[in-house]
Chains A and B, each alone.
Chain A
Amino acid sequence: MDKDLLPKRSFAQKYHVRGIGGTILFFFLLWGSAVMTGVNWGDFFTNLDQFFDLLSRMAHPAWDYTNIVIQPIIETIQMALIGTTIGTLIAIPFSVLAARNLVKNPIVRGIIRFILNLVRTLPDLLLAALFVAVVGIGSTAGVWTLAVFSFGMISKLFYETIETIDDGPLEALRAAGANNVQVVVFAVIPQVLNSFVSYFLYTFEINVRASTVLGYLGAGGIGVYLQRSLSSFRYDQTAVIVIAILLVVIVIDAVSNKLRERLQ
């Protein structure tokens, strides 16, 4: 084939200017961040023995502590379940109002999305600190933290799901004289229900993991015991707690993954 007939690549395309430039920039930023934060590789390795010391002390878990741990770990799961449920229930109407294919009015949608973006910028630890200050130390603070956190996360997942549905059935329902609520009930919900349940389980998984740490700030659950054992240098108890958390997270992840696979 005659080479002159092919379209010409621009200079940037021919020498991969973007790819090479981006890589150089990335390494430059990496190096810059290391210098500014004073990362010291020497310190990291000289302190490794402390790490092993900790590990060896955790190597003999205080198994009799297990009975005490069971109650707070159940509380942690309950916190996650209630928090996720409350967050999901509030997220449903918001996600409907934020979906481009359901709400044509850009102002309503804009306001709703602004609120959702705002909620999502709050990290869960900050929320926990906030709610502990408002409702006091205990699992109530944890539940509210997880509710707000899951609300922000789920509403975004939900409205993005709603925006991917087939608009055909919506048109058919409108053409049959259905009002907006009826369109949502008969044409939207059947299309999104499985994804919604799947996202609920996914958020629940994340919340179980998150709620183990929330106790650190006084928001109830197993985290309270984690903090107590660490600050009293009872690493044998810490080991029991870590193992318990690990088991619970693995079991819940496995169950939820199985369920979500079935929903596909």
Chain B
Amino acid sequence: MNDRPVMIEFDNVQKVYPNGTVGLKDIDLKIYEGEFVAVVGLSGAGKSTLLRAINRMHDVTGGDLKVDGQSIVGYKGKELRNLRRSIGMIFQDFNLVNRSSVRRNVLSGRVGYYPTWKSSLDLFSSEDKKRALDSLNRVNMTEKLYTRVDELSGGQQQRVAIARALMQDPKIMLADEPIASLDPLTATAVMDDLLSLNKDLGITVLANLHSVPLAMKYADRIVGLRAGQLVYDKPIAEVSQDDFEGIYSENEAVKEGALNG
């Protein structure tokens, strides 16, 4: 379906939590460079686990996972940190340091490129300080540079979080329910920001979304998870609203039918 290079490749990936809960089961999935993929599914279907497997915030328990052609499942230490700094991540609860300024939060996205002592002493290069301004500019938050994060609204905080992730110069952006804590209007603004990263900067975006209409509006492709399994994968042109009943229904019979859908 795609002539672009593969960015992320799940090969029969399994994830079983220590308590026996199945997080991911038999996942085979290829994400191509520059795609905007929305992941949909019920809470607990494994959407977060899928995203966090890619930057190894969660370890997988079976199968192989490649990012940019390299198998990442065995990464440790420096290698793992270098993988993580090439992948931006934004979160439902923004995960900013509330007591710090916007500037410091944004700069903290760059620490993966600095030795410990240099970053600890706040010795960021003038190039990176400019990069912080550019990142904030991209999400229209430049005037809040010296504001403390806890004085910002939710939508503004999420945009600062996007600016922080941009500091990493990421190839991939993972967005874990980025708009679940926001009102519809700011949600649209944040989704627009994500879309512009995807279209203007060519960053591959993988976003967990609860809202099917937003997924249909922004994504190039929608994948559905159910009980840790991939039950749906279609480019946006082939998606119809009826498809989602299988993913979101609690009904077992529908689930069996949707497994091949």
Interface residues of A (CB under 8 A from B): 166, 168-169, 171-179, 181-182, 185-187, 190-191, 193-194
Contacts and interface: CB of A to CB of B under 8 A. Distances in A.
B120 A172 contact: no
Contacts of B57: 171, 174-175
B112 A177 contact: yes
Nearest to B87: A175
Interface in B119-142: 119-120
Interface string B205-248: 00000000000000000000000000000000000000000000
B36 interface: no
A134 B99 CA distance: 45
B116 interface: yes
Interface in B68-84: 81-84
B190 interface: no
A182 B116 contact: yes
Report the 8 A-B pairs with minimum CB-CB distance, sorted nearest first: A177-B112, A177-B85, A168-B95, A172-B95, A177-B84, A177-B81, A175-B89, A186-B108
A181 B108 CA distance: 13
Contacts of B87: 175
B154 to A, nearest CB: 13
Contact of A172 (B82, B91, B99): B91
18 contacts: A171-B57, A173-B108, A176-B88, A176-B89, A176-B167, A177-B83, A177-B84, A177-B85, A177-B86, A178-B81, A179-B116, A185-B119, A186-B111, A187-B108, A190-B100, A191-B97, A191-B99, A194-B99
Nearest to A184: B120
Interface in B130-183: 161, 164-165, 167-168
B82 A176 contact: no
Interface in B46-62: 55, 57
Given A181-B116, A182-B116, A185-B119, A176 B93 contact: no
Contact of B164 (A176, A181, A185): A176
B119 to A, nearest CB: 6
Of A168, A179, A181, A186, most buried by chain B (CB within 10 Å of CB) is A186
B111 A172 contact: no
Contacts of B168: 176-177
B95 A176 contact: no
B97 A190 contact: yes
B84 A174 contact: yes
Contact of A173 (B86, B93, B98, B111): B111
A180 to B, nearest CB: 9
Contact of B120 (A175, A177, A181, A190): A181
B205 to A, nearest CB: 15
Nearest to A183: B111
Contacts of B97: 169, 186-187, 190-191
B99 A176 contact: no
Contact of A190 (B55, B99, B116, B161): B99
Contacts of A187: 97, 108
Contact of A185 (B95, B112, B120): B120
A190 B86 CA distance: 25
A194 B82 CA distance: 32
Contact of A177 (B94, B111, B116): B111
B164 A172 contact: yes
Contact of B91 (A171, A179, A182, A186): A171
Contacts of A176: 84-85, 88-89, 108-109, 111-112, 164-165, 167-168
Nearest to A188: B97
Contacts of A186: 97, 100, 104, 108, 111, 119
Contact of B81 (A166, A169, A172, A179): A179
A182 B110 CA distance: 11
